[in-house]
Each structure stands twice: as C-alpha cells, then as structure tokens.
Amino acid sequence: MRTKPTRRLKFEDWPAADQAGWRQLFAPGDIFDEGSSAAHLSQASRRDLQCAYARFLGFLQRHNPDVLLLAPDRRLTSNVVAEYVYEIRQTNSYLSVATELHHLRLALRLLCVGSDWSWLHAIQKRIATRAPRKNGANTAITSEQLYELGLQLMVQAEKDAAVSKKTTKNQALMYRDGLLIAILAAIPLRRRTLTALQIGEHLTKSANGWLLHIPAKDAKARRALEFSISSDMSVRIDQYLDHFRKHIPGAARHCGLWASSKGSSMNDGAIYDAVCRRTRAAFGLAINLHRFRHAAGAFWSIEDPVNVRGVRDLLGHTSFKTTEVHYIKSQSRNAARRYSKVLTTRYL
C-alpha cells in the first residue's frame, strides 16, 4: 500500500531562524536598493522553493526532530538525503524526486549563502538519469507540421462557415484553436505568457501588421520581449478578431485573446487541453505546450544552423548582462522575424 505524500511543515511551525531567513530572502528593495538576493523570483518560483523546503522540514519533524535544532546548513547529510529520497520515492517518480531535490537545493543555496551544495546536485542528477525515457514519438512532430495544422484548422472553419452560410460556436472555436496552434508554432511562448495575452495590451497593431508585446512582469526571465507577427498570420488575426471571436459566447465582455465558451478568457488548463486535443486528432498523439518550444529549437537548428544562437532570443532564454538589457526587445523581434520568415514562406 502506498504511503501518503510527504506532508509540508506549515510556515508558522518552521524554526524561528528559518522563518526569519525566508522572509529576508524576499524582502523588496527601494529606489536605492535592488532588494534581496531572491526578490527577483516570480511568485511561482517562490512557491515551488517554499513547498520543497517545507516538505523537507516536515520530513525532519517526523523522523529526525532533533535535527531541526541545528542550523539549516548542518541538517543535510548524505544519510538524511537517502532517507528523504526513500520516503518521497514511495509516491513519486524518479524525475519528480530529482525535481524535488533541485528545488530543495535552490532553497538551501539561497538560505545558506557560502555553503557548497554541489554534492546534492550530483545526487539529483544521478536520480534523474534513472527516470525512464519518454516515448520520443512526439519529438518527430516539427514546427512546420504544427504550423500547417493551425492553418488547416482555420481554413476548415472558414469552409464550414461558408457552406452553412453562418458561423457556429464550434466553427469559431476551431478557428481560435487553429490560430492558437499556428501562433504557438511561430512564437513558442511559455504557458503563463500565452494565457495572459490581452488584445490591445499584449497584442497591438502597427502599420506592418500585428505585434506581440510581452512586458517584463509576464516573462519568466523578467525581461520585456517583442515579437513581430508575419503578414500572413496578421491577416488571420484580423479574421479572428473581426469575425470568428464574436461567435464565442461572452467574448465581447473581456479582452482576452483566447476567448472561451464560458464567457471568459481561457485559463492555462483549457489552452493545454485544446492544443492536446487538436494535435492528438491530427497526429495520433498529444503535443503539449512545452513541446512547441522544443520543436522550434529543432526546426531552427536544421533550417538555419549558422544562426542557431538566435533560438535563445526566440524562446526568451536570455543571459544578457545588465548593460545588454536594452537589446532584448530588438533581439527577440528580429529572432521572431527570422524564424517566422522561414516557417511561413512555405505556405505563401
């Protein structure tokens, strides 16, 4: 019988030193101070680190309560890690265990500045290698195929509407999903960013077509990005906004780009399900949102290997220094333009 998942220790039950140290990590700065070492982390990242650390403290409280009396950098030994891994392995895969240790290591690295946690990183990597490899079938699906699927869905929705001489909700949803898949194939955004897109805020029109503006607050790397949308896809966006979107119930009540049939914007789960459903119907297997990013990198490396470093800008994997921050918008715009040119010219 499988044991219950490892319970987290509530923050108010953490040792006083841990509570104080954690609060200090995320203390905001002011105009003269950039803030603490972890103040830049997103809420999602903070939550992941806190949950991992709370689970580890919960484990110690149940099995080694005396260890909680020690300083944070003295609690973790190879024996303690072995016991902890054994417990969480009862209800988690090797990959999940490795991810848990990764988050724990990051939390400890922030809390215990100067301590060496490379040995924990080595354990994490060894555990990750034990994870069974996923079926690689979906890696054979290219950005080109995904983009073509998006176009096919939009064209089919237009044909169906023309035949029936009216536009139904299902046709509107088909067109929406096609546009979603095509844009994601051309500009492989992260799930959170894709979900947050608002008409007039993130999606704006210029003389040359539509642009996607991703403010720093909506980007994982906390760096503003801007992507140019091809002229062909800009026409598709016009068709969606001018005609199909209005046939999705409640779409007029909000500015979310991806209108749901429930009268609000699609949440990330609904977007994930829609993309998986359409790709499964087309390819016989579901392509999740993150796989679009892998496909983009593979497609670029094959089609334009000389400039493959541009994938970093397309995917927002920025590692520029502070002095280079001002180049990120232009770099991402140029990256999207080059990538989109290769992709869309095949269908003109």
Name all domains of the chain by residue range, CATH numbers in brackets: 11-129 (no CATH), 137-347 (1.10.443.10)
When mean pLDDT is compared across 38-52, 114-128, 148-162, 258-272, the lowest value belongs to 38-52
Q: Which residue has the higher pLDDT, 100 or 216?
A: 100
pTM for this prediction = 0.56
Tokens standing for residue 131: 């994870």
Q: Are 29 and 36 in contact (CB under 8 A)?
A: yes
Planar angle of CA 208, 210, 216, nearest 5 degrees: 120
Which among 94, 108, 145, 133 has a CA at the least distance from the CA of 282? 145
Mean pLDDT in residue range 6-32:
80
Summarize pLDDT for 195-212 with one digit per residue, the tens: 989 999 999 998 888 998
The residue among 218 and 266 whose pLDDT is bigger is: 266
Angle in degrees, 0-180, between the axes of helices 143-164 and 328-344, rounded to the nearest 10: 70
pLDDT at 30: 45
Predicted confidence (pLDDT) at residue 77 exceeds the cutoff of 60: yes
Say what the pLDDT of residue 80 is.
93
> What is the rounded distance in angstroms from the CA atom of residue 108 to the CA atom of residue 21?
11
How does the average pLDDT of the chain come out, rounded? 79
What angle, rounded to 10 degrees, do the helices at 268-283 and 143-164 form? 90
**Higher pLDDT pick, 57 / 35:** 57
Predicted confidence (pLDDT) at residue 346 exceeds the cutoff of 70: no
**DSSP-assigned states of every residue in 293-328:** HHHHHHHHHHH-GGGGGGHHHHHT-----GGGGGGH
pLDDT at 317: 41
Which of 1-10, 79-88, 126-135, 331-340 bottoms out in mean pLDDT, i.e. has the lowest?
Answer: 331-340
Helices (H), the chain: 16-25, 43-63, 78-89, 94-111, 118-129, 143-164, 169-186, 191-196, 231-239, 268-283, 289-303, 311-315, 328-344
pLDDT greater at residue 308 or residue 242: 242
pLDDT band at 5 (very low <50, low <70, confident <90, very high): very low
- What is the average per-residue pLDDT within 322-339? 42
Express each pLDDT in 37-61 by its tens digit: 566 677 777 888 899 999 999 999 9
- Which pLDDT score, from 0 to 100, does residue 4 have? 44
* Least reliable range by pLDDT among 115-119, 182-186, 209-213, 300-304: 300-304
First to last CA, the chain: 59
Taking a C-beta distance cutoff of 8 angstroms, is the pair 27, 39 a contact? yes
Tokens representing residue 98 in the block: 């490795």
What pLDDT is recorded for position 347? 57
